[in-house]
Structure 1
Amino acid sequence: MTTHTSSLTVHQTARPHGFPTRAHFAFVEAPVPAPDPGTALVENLYWSVDPYHREAMDVDPLHVPVEGRTIGRIVESRNPALPEGAIVLHREGWRTHAVVRPEQARRLPVFDGVPLSAHLGILGGTGLSAYVALTRIARLQPGEDLFVSAAAGGVGTAAGRLARLMGAGRIVGSAGSAAKVDHLLREVGYDAAFDYHDGPVAAQLTAAAPDGIDVYLDNVGGDHLEGAITALRPHGRIAWCGAVGQYNSPDGPPAAPRNLFDIVEKSLRLEGFLVRDHADAQQELYDFAVPHLRAGRLRSDETVVDGFGNIVDAFLAMLRGDNTGKMLVRRGAGPLAADGTGLASTPRSGAAAAS
């Protein structure tokens, strides 16, 4: 049974024009809900904040809890398929407690030596996005050269680490600061990386991969996509995962790449995808990644913010690029204050990042 008598949810209350602020959200307090027959009450432990949340702010309904991937523990059940004490993943979002039906929650496997938070990072939608992009969309082959944009984010760090284990050749990434570039080179295993603020992306990519690339994993769009089209060799592939470069633009999407016809001339393939359409790859990811995690060959890059009251600030920090790896919010032991005070993030990597 939960020891809390009240719950908090985060609602979006207005549409942003450009970069969002805390004023676009509100914390709503209510009694902890009671599960109806056939459901279970989940006390949430970890929340995911993701770039797609910004895009969703333009279309999702207002004055309802923000949707998102969440890990929690069942504390009261009225359904034998959802036993008390089980750890589940659901998408009921930014709230401290949720009532779920069996079809709304997936019971998570427990892997010895692997932190619970990995199920939102390298083993969750973030890692699955990278895995699907590399294996199903781009079909990366051993020895092929790869470029990843937003490489220091959750998908980007996962892609670099997974691609190295898959036998990729030269791995190049772009990031938003010198510190992130250093992290990619020292910790993640990228062969080359550059700060996209330092000059035109196409020129920096040419310098980092003078012989060209075979695969591009696009998390940004815009000038990164244009530069990658130039750098790709004939029959190269582009797996388009996101376009974070345009999410906060008040002027809308940037102009299309000027070299789109090169896709025809070089026989390139560009395919966008949504990870939700590849849920059947989840077990593949477990089979591939878990042995590497246990052996220390694979690590989970995370920036963890403590306290549900800081979830909006964590989201805004992620949009500013303040995170390295996956941005997560952990329930923590302190009060669930909604004023955002005491926001502190902790970068974590590997199995030492205890749940």
Structure 2
Amino acid sequence: MTETNREWLLVKRPEGEPKASDYEWRESAVPEPGPGEFVVRVLYAAMDPAQRGWMDASGNYMPPIPLGAPVRAVVLGRVVKSNVDAHPVGQIVSGLGAWADYVICKPGYVGPVPVEWGHDLTTYLHPLGAVGATAYYGLFEIGKLKDGENLLVSGAAGGVGSLVGQMGKIKGCKVVGIAGGAEKCRWLTEELGFDAAIDYRVTDNLSAEIGRHFPNGFDVYFENVGGPTLEAAIDNMALHARIAICGMISAYNDSHNPPPGPRNMWNILVKRAHVEGLLVSDYMHRAGPGYQQINEWIKAGKLKFKVDVREGLENAPEVFNKLFSGAHDGKLMLKIGD
């Protein structure tokens, strides 16, 4: 155990894409747990688009990160000090933490991971973590996907989107993904088995391209992007389509001047579509069966995934912004400790 706890504090509400001046580096003593608390040595921190919303004064769907407080993140680590019997020293856990070497945790916000399943630790921050639960419950409980339906996925090469598309293929669906760049599109079709991939960076008319793949409309759309992508999707719904809104990353850095919403919302009425938002926290208390199914798919070779692991806590702000530039390949995470 090191004698110093390094951490990144949020000291300014970002305007647009976060800048180095929005953060402050602090070094202090390793914290001691109080009654009912335990200390976790952070090994990995997930880089998630939702963190950008937590940096704003509104906080998005969680309370905002207080100015002067550590930057909140989903982490995986090892318990090193504990006053909680259910979380003994040495246990590997995952949940809400921070960009830091050590974090104080309480039961309920952080829980043990099933390391007995024998996967690399990063797996428990991707398909067997909140990312996998988001894909599974968003697709099957919000999207209500049925065998053989038509599925459209935006942000399809990202952590959630890539899992959603593969789950659709497992259920015998036609799956089309929207992603940025030829390499990502090839990965979707050649490695993950998507029926087709649309490169939004080169298409002149995204709505028409979606329509070409789904001439009779799609049944389920899993939304990770928002903005013009959502508008193009709404043009191409089948009757009684379902849209699961997981994220809208295209607008996360435009919180003070967001682009206008879709201009074709009338089509939701015409097609009698169902649109519902998704927060994985609503499902985590009963995520066990979903994780068991995902684990079976992984071991059967039916579910593939990539992680893009960068190293060094000192690089956290720079690595985080790769989410918005697309300069990452797979689920982005930061290795902080061994």
**Could you tell me whether the CA contact under 8 Å between 1:154 and 1:324 is conserved in 2?**
no
In structure 1, how many angstroms separate the alpha carbons of the residues matched to 2:287 and 2:165?
Answer: 19
Query: For residue 177 of structure 1, what is the amino acid of its counterpart?
Result: G
In structure 1, how many angstroms separate the alpha carbons of the residues matched to 2:33 and 2:138?
Answer: 38
Gaps of 5+ in 2: 58-63
Q: What is the 5 A alignment of 1:1-355?
A: 3-59=1-57, 60=64, 61-168=66-173, 170-198=174-202, 199-249=204-254, 252-332=257-337
Q: 1:22 to 1:189 in 2, by over 3 A?
A: farther
Deviating more after overlay: 35-44 vs 301-310: 35-44
Q: 1:34 to 1:332 in 2, by over 3 A?
A: closer
**Could you tell me whether the CA contact under 8 Å between 1:41 and 1:99 is conserved in 2?**
yes
**Could you tell me whether the CA contact under 8 Å between 1:164 and 1:189 is conserved in 2?**
yes
SS at match of 2:31: coil
**Could you tell me whether the CA contact under 8 Å between 2:163 and 2:303 is conserved in 1?**
no
Gaps of 5+ in 1: 334-355
In structure 2, how many angstroms separate the alpha carbons of the residues matched to 1:12 and 1:151?
Answer: 30
In structure 2, how many angstroms separate the alpha carbons of the residues matched to 1:26 and 1:167?
Answer: 49
TM-score by length of 2: 0.93
In structure 2, the partner of 1:336 is: none
In structure 1, how many angstroms separate the alpha carbons of the residues matched to 2:189 and 2:337?
Answer: 32
- What is the number of equivalent residue pairs in this alignment? 330
**Could you tell me whether the CA contact under 8 Å between 2:306 and 2:331 is conserved in 1?**
yes
SS at match of 2:260: coil
- How much identity, in percent, do the aligned residues show? 36
In structure 1, how many angstroms separate the alpha carbons of the residues matched to 2:49 and 2:36?
Answer: 34
**Could you tell me whether the CA contact under 8 Å between 1:14 and 1:25 is conserved in 2?**
yes
Query: For residue 179 of structure 1, what is the amino acid of its counterpart?
Result: E
TM-score by length of 1: 0.88
**Could you tell me whether the CA contact under 8 Å between 2:165 and 2:194 is conserved in 1?**
yes
Q: 1:285 to 1:76 in 2, by over 3 A?
A: same
Q: 1:39 to 1:56 in 2, by over 3 A?
A: closer
SS at match of 1:249: coil
Cα distance, 1:251 vs structure 2: 5.6
Deviation string 1:247-272 (CA, Å, 9 cap, x unpaired) is: 12266222121211111111111111
In structure 2, the partner of 1:338 is: none
Query: For residue 146 of structure 1, what is the amino acid of its counterpart?
Result: L
Deviating more after overlay: 278-287 vs 218-227: 278-287
**Could you tell me whether the CA contact under 8 Å between 1:241 and 1:273 is conserved in 2?**
yes
In structure 2, how many angstroms separate the alpha carbons of the residues matched to 1:281 and 1:299?
Answer: 24
**Could you tell me whether the CA contact under 8 Å between 2:74 and 2:96 is conserved in 1?**
yes
Deviation string 1:53-95 (CA, Å, 9 cap, x unpaired) is: 1122212221101111111101222332211110011312211
In structure 2, how many angstroms separate the alpha carbons of the residues matched to 1:37 and 1:133?
Answer: 36
Deviation string 1:202-245 (CA, Å, 9 cap, x unpaired) is: 12212333332111001111211111111111111100111111
SS at match of 2:334: strand
